[in-house]
Amino acid sequence: MTGFPATLPRPRLWLRRRFPLLARIAERLLLSILLLLTVSVLIFAGVEALPGDFATTYLGQSATPQAVANIRAEFGLDQPVTSRYFEWLGNALQGDFGSSWASGNSVSEQIGNRLGNSLFLAAVSALIAVPLAVGLGVVAVRFRDRLPDRLINILSLAAISLPEFFVGYLLIMFFVVKTSAAAFPATVYDSMSLIERLQVIALPVATLVLVVLAHMIRMTRAAILGVMSSAYMETAELKGLGALRSITHHAAPNALAPIINVVALNLAYLIVGVVVVEVVFVYPGMGQYMVDAVTVRDLPVVQACGLIFAAIYILLNMTADILAIIANPRLRHPR
């Protein structure tokens, strides 16, 4: 009979007891890798299950069966699904997503050009939304159950109830159609300066900020209020510590873990949420690229975009978990 003696701890338990912080981080990394592999299977299977056939779409309804068979053989569609999946996954791990069936261009190069646009849009939105959400959350706590707090809650509920495509169309109607404004160009060019790019993404950024702002404000408010109800905060108030100082210097830092979680989750949503916003504003990013590929069943492009979106989403969620673990004093200073 093999195994560890009863007097010796198992390696996993020993690692968790001796290095709890590293053990939990390693667990999150392993789970993220397994989740990404699972998502890759779902993406490949989901794309395969799409109705229609690329060869028929590419050649038209009048194509002969032989022509359809030739196209399927050219792109390897006549091979078993499992063989095509493992070949696709192996190439994807090396950064090779193949060539677009519709255009013949390298998918990796096309994604490289468009991913920068999507990340720029999401980054600018995050730089505006995160400080604004945390600041408004602090204001809501400072004026709890008073007019500023009620106004912030009402506006938050209104923003949460509106989907991003509806917000985008409203902004287009009020700032472009109604005013006939030429201040918002419709296309992004590589030769544009930073100021011109910011001018182009003004309305998409406003849409994304309005969509994610409400959730971050409400969660920040709830996290800080949870800390404010603790005994040591009541003691600080009894000692005469000012309300704003107690919130910013004591309550907010101790509510950092849940705030980090909600911020990271909303940043992950920003990356995925750009798909709808890019379609609404015809923005040349990853989302628009993927939607265009879906319409013609360009499978390599759809699979590559889906995998990259999933990888970014999982990476941001993993980062949120790791930061929350690091912010936990019981793991940083184990007894």
SS3 99: strand
Q: With beta carbons less than 8 A apart as the criterion, state whether 277 and 242 touch.
A: no
Q: With beta carbons less than 8 A apart as the criterion, state whether 268 and 278 touch.
A: no
Got the DSSP string for 59-90? H-TT--HHHHHHHHHHTTTTS-HHHHHHHHHH
The neighbouring-strand residues paired with 106 are 99
Tens digit of pLDDT for each residue in 26-65? 888 899 899 999 999 998 888 777 766 666 666 666 667 7
Locate 35 and state its tokens. 């989740």
C-alpha–C-alpha distance, residues 244 and 8, integer Å: 52
Buried b (16+ CB within 10 A) or exposed e, 19-48: ebbebbbeebeeebeeebeebbeebbeebe
Please give the single-letter amino acid code of residue 146.
Answer: R
Q: With beta carbons less than 8 A apart as the criterion, state whether 125 and 270 touch.
A: yes
The domains located in the chain, with CATH, are 114-297 (1.10.3720.10)
**Average model confidence (pLDDT) across the chain:** 78
Write the CB contacts of 132 (distance below 8 Å, at least 6 apart in sequence): 209, 213
Buried b (16+ CB within 10 A) or exposed e, 89-125: eeebeeeebbbbbbeeeebbebbeebbebbbbbbebb
Tens digit of pLDDT for each residue in 251-277? 666 667 677 777 777 777 787 777 888
Q: With beta carbons less than 8 A apart as the criterion, state whether 140 and 217 touch.
A: yes
Q: Is the pLDDT of residue 2 over 60?
A: no
pTM value > 0.85: no
Q: Is the pLDDT of residue 223 over 60?
A: yes
Q: What percent of the chain has pLDDT over 70?
A: 75
> How many beta carbons lie within 10 A of that of residue 284, not counting itself?
18
Give residue 228's Cα distance to chain centre: 30
Q: Is the pLDDT of residue 7 over 70?
A: no
Got the DSSP string for 114-160? HHHHHHHHHHHHHHHHHHHHHHHHHHHHHTTTSHHHHHHHHHHHHHH
Q: What is the mean pLDDT of residues 225-247?
A: 67
C-alpha–C-alpha distance, residues 195 and 200, integer Å: 9
Tens digit of pLDDT for each residue in 148-195? 888 988 888 887 788 888 888 888 888 777 765 555 655 555 667 777
> Tell me, what's the pLDDT at 271?
78
